[in-house]
Structures are given as structure tokens and as C-alpha cells.
Amino acid sequence: MRLPVSDTSPAAVVILAAGEGSRMKSRTPKVLHTLAGRTLLGHALAAADELSPQRLVVVVGHAREQVGAAALAAAPQAAIVVQDQQLGTGHAVRMVVESVGAMPGTVVVSYADMPLLRGATLRQLVDQHRECGNAVTVLSARGDAAGYGRIVRDRSGSFLRIVEERDATTDERAIDEYNSGCYAFDGALLADAIKRVTTDNDQQQEYLTDVVDILRRDGHPVGTMLAADAGEVAGVNDRVQLAQVRRALNDRLLREWMRAGVTFVDPGSSWVDVTVTIGQDAEIGPQTQLEGATVIGQGARVGPGCLLADTTVGEGAVLLHVVSRQAEVGPRATVGPFAYLRPETSIAADAHIGAYVEIKKSSVGSGAKVPHLTYVGDATIGAGANIGAGTIFANYDGVHKNHTEVGQNAFVGSNTVLVAPVNIGDGAYTAAGSAIGEDVPAGDLGVARGRQHNSDGWVLRNREQTRSAEAAQRTRSGKSQ
Ligand code: UD1
Ligand code: CA
């Protein structure tokens, strides 16, 4: 979603992402951990992008190459500013001002580890900031303020400053309104004030929060905007919080889809990436995960037990216990239970893929059936063809992958091995149990198996007094009467 570009587009959004995130105890930088199909940083960039800022700046420090590259991959227009040492949030913003200069207009500063913060909330912050003519507007929240900077007000309720918990008095610690870490600034005033921030605090760091006090003492109006939903400003510092935030984001997404006309049978066990699209009246069953660029058509039924990544599902298709990556399933096609669709697979309309079937880089024509226990690789299967149970498309000769073509309305007998490259013509048949290595022209029957020979009375001679021999004896003597 992108909000309409307006002349209220901010001059810049600055995202702080230089911290280490050591509580994640991870080899992956904190802001590159993912939820709902995007990194923490990716969510922050997406929210920023909804404002169409004239400039998007990401401050990197720890793992700067990796984080900077990820930022540019998600937002190629971003400017990357390196903060060599993490000397505080104020220091990080000073590095930005020193690197790109003052940014006249509204400058939003936010963090890379607040993935629930919506673009719409940032927009509200910018709008209120403009309407009030503030030098700075702080996005605050109310609730359990432990660990956060507190919003300090005078007796009349006017906003004075932010005090960090470790620098706060007992009275100040009792305040339940806290600083989210997200702000709208007047860019010119910020550029001036950021130079005057001292390190006179418990951590001896440059606090961005001190800018509020500096601007107010200079006589500029400062204000706050209370977040309607404190959950939106929840930060991620460890993997417990990551799981909580993932659950919250998923709940939010599923509520939006349900309000748009999608049924979730068990919202608690379905997971949907932000990049997924779902049509009206689709029904998503329990234990189903939809990832990446997956698109679910109207009225399709997906689940229980599906994992679909970058998969397109047509209208009215039915998928049951399917794992699929980069595949396409046509309208009304049925897949599963227990099917595996691998990249570059395309199943046409009304086709049926049944139990224990794996398909890779192949197209299955409309109305064709691959009902049971089959591997299809590097093949084209014509419309209306029927592939018998246990058929194997032997596509790999140990060196090359080879292609198999099965014509329209062809009928491949059970347990056929199709040794690629090979062509089965339109309407051709193969006999069950054949190993077909040569083309079968249209309308022919290909038979490639040993002829059957029955050795007369072998069991009676070689398995005397077994149950088999006795049963055979009864039948044979009955017949001979
Ligand atoms: C900060 C705020 C606090 C607020 C809280 C909300 C200050 C002084 N305090 O505290 O009022 O309630 O956020 O979460 O700003 N970062 C850098 N470079 C640095 C330091 C931090 O990029 O030198 C980034 C971190 O990666 C992180 C964010 O800034 O994403 C916040 O830093 P953190 O150290 O967690 O700030 P807090 O002490 O939590
Ligand atoms: Ca923090």
C-alpha cells in the first residue's frame, strides 16, 4: 500500500539501524531477522516508503556491509550513512546531518526494529507536526513504560522533555507515558540543535531525546502524539519479542484479509506474508503458510497443511497438504493430498494432481490427470492426458536433464518409466510396467516389458504342502472335475 503522494511528503525519513542487537544472540544482524516475509529493516523501509519521502536515509554501524546491502536491495533509493561507533541515538542523527547536510522540511526519525509501526501512523505524526507548527513532535505511547524514556510534562500538562529511565527520578519513573523513539522534526532546527547535544548523562552518550529540551528552551513549540495502539511501537530486542511481534503482525494481516472476504478456518495456525494476495471467498485451512509473491484466486481452497511460496493458485482450485515453490496452479485444478510442486511447474485449468506426486519444471495440460505416486520432471503433458499410478519421468541421465513430451489425451500405463528424451504422441498409450525409451507415435501402443510365461504347476512341484499349494490343488482338482 502506498498512500497518495502529497505536498506533505516529508523531506526525509531517517531509520536508525546501527545498533548491535546483542540480545538476539545471533550471527544474523538483528534488523535482518524476518517476519511475515520481510526483515525488520524491510518493514521499517516499507512504512517509510508509504510517505514517499524526498530522501530515505539508513544509518548503519554493526555489520554495516550486510545491513547496508539489505537496505539498498529493499530500497535502492536509500542513502546509507555509516556510524562508525555507536555513541548514541543523537550521535547517529548527527552523522546523518554531517553526511547529507541539513534537510529543510519535515524529517522523520525512526528505528529499524519497530516492524509493527504503520505508514499511516507516520503520516498522522507528520500531519499533526505540520498542523501544530512544532519544532519536534514525539510519537509517545502509554502502558508499561519500563526501560523506555519517560515523557515529562509540567503541571499544566505541557510537554517538557524526555528523561531516560536510568537518568530519571523516582517520580519520573512513575510516569506511564513513554517515548517510542519515533519523531517528526523541523529539519533545519534539528540540524542546528543536534550539534548542541552533550554527553552529560548516565551512559555518556549523545541522546537524540535531548534535542527536545534544547528546542523547547530555544522557545520553539514541541509536542507529542500518543499512539492509538501502543502495540505498534513495540520494539524487537530478543527472540521472545520477535515471536510476539510476528504473531501480532500475522493477526493484523489475517484480520484485514477476513474483513476483505477471505475465510481463515483457524487464524491461529495460518501464517501469511505481507506480500501475499488472496481473492474473495478463498478459504484457507488450518496449518497453512503462504509466503512471498503467492497469489490465491477467488474461491480457492488451500489447506489444511499447505506451504506455498511464490505460487499462483487459480480461482476455485483446491489444494490439500501441498508444498509448492514458484509454481502455478490453474483455475479449478485439484492438487493433493501430499503433493510437491517445485519451481517452474505449471498446472493448467481443471487438471488433477493426486497423492504422493512430485512435479518439477513441467507443465500439465488442462484436464490432465496425474493421480497417484508419480515423479514428473522436465516434461510437457498434453491436455486430457492420463498418467498411470507409479509413473516415473526419468529425466536425468547422470549428466543432463532431458525433456519428455506426452501428447494430448495420451494414456500412460501404470508404472511406466519414461526415459527422457522421449515423445509420447497424441492419443498414444503405453503398456503398464513399460520402460519407454523410444518415441511412441500418435495412436500407437508402446509395449516395452518382458513377455509373461506361466510355468505349469510349479507351485505344486516346488512348494508341496504349503497353503498355496493346497489352495492351488483345491482349485485345480475342482476345475478338472
Ligand atoms: C531510545 C530512546 C528512549 C526510547 C527508546 C524506545 C534515546 C536516548 N532514548 O532508548 O527514550 O524510549 O529508544 O525504544 O534515544 N542506534 C543507532 N546508533 C546508536 C545508538 C542507537 O543507530 O549509536 C539505534 C539502535 O540500533 C536502535 C535505536 O537506535 O535501533 C535505539 O537505540 P537503543 O540503544 O535501543 O535506545 P534505547 O536506549 O532503547
Ligand atoms: Ca531499545
Q: What would the pLDDT profile of 14-23 be if each residue is shown by its tens digit?
A: 999 999 999 9
Q: Is the CB of 149 under 6 A from ligand 1?
A: yes
**61 close to 85: Cβ distance less than 8 angstroms:** yes
User: What are the tens digits of pLDDT across the range 439-451?
Assistant: 999 999 999 999 9
User: What pLDDT, on the 0 to 100 scale, is given for residue 101?
Assistant: 95
Instruction: Measure 110 CA to ligand 1 centroid, in angstroms.
Output: 9
- Residue-wise pLDDT tens digits, 334-391: 999 999 999 999 999 999 999 999 999 999 999 999 999 999 999 999 999 999 999 9
Taking only the tens place, the pLDDT of each residue in 44-89 is 999 999 999 999 999 999 999 999 999 999 999 999 999 999 999 9
Per-residue pLDDT at 1: 47
pLDDT of residue 478: 86
- The closest residue, in CA terms, to atom 26 on ligand 1 is 19
162 CB under 6 A from ligand 1?
Answer: yes
| pLDDT tens string 175-217 | 999 999 999 999 999 999 999 999 999 999 999 999 999 999 9
Burial call 132-148: b when 16+ CB within 10 Å, e when fewer: eebbbbbbbbeeebeeb
pLDDT at 311 over 80: yes
CB 341 within 8 A of CB 325: yes
* Grid coordinates of 421: 528424451
Start-to-end CA span in the chain (Å): 85
Pairing of strands 263-264, 159-163: unpaired
Q: Alpha carbon of 291 to those of 369, 411, 431: distances in Å?
A: 27, 35, 41
Q: Is 148 helix (H, G, I), strand (E, B) or coil?
A: coil
d(CA 433, CA 283) in angstroms, rounded, equals 40
Q: Which long-range contacts (CB under 8 A, 24 or more apart) does 348-353 make?
A: 348/383, 349/314
Return the ∠ at Cα 257 (arms to 253 and 262), rounded to 5°: 145
The answer, yes or no, to whether any atom of ligand 1 lies below 6 A from the CB of 369, is no
Per-residue confidence band for 5, with pLDDT thresholds at 50, 70 and 90: very low
pLDDT at 305: 98
Distance 113 CA to ligand 2 centre (A): 8
Task: Give strand pairing partners of 137.
Answer: 184, 223
pTM (two decimals): 0.93
Q: 106 pLDDT exceeds 70?
A: yes
Ligand 1 proximity of 350 Cβ (cutoff 6 Å): no
* Active-site residue set: 372
Predicted pLDDT at 6: 52
**DSSP 3-state of 311:** coil
On the question of pLDDT at 2 being above 90, the answer is no
pLDDT over 50 at 476, yes or no = yes
Alpha helices in 101-229 (DSSP H): 119-132, 170-173, 187-193, 210-217
Cell triple for 386:
492420463
How much is the mean pLDDT over the chain? 97
Pick from 14, 33, 89 the residue to mutate for probing ligand 1's pocket: most ligand atoms within 8 Å of its CB.
89
Residue 290 has pLDDT above 70, yes or no: yes
Quick one: pLDDT at residue 232?
Answer: 98
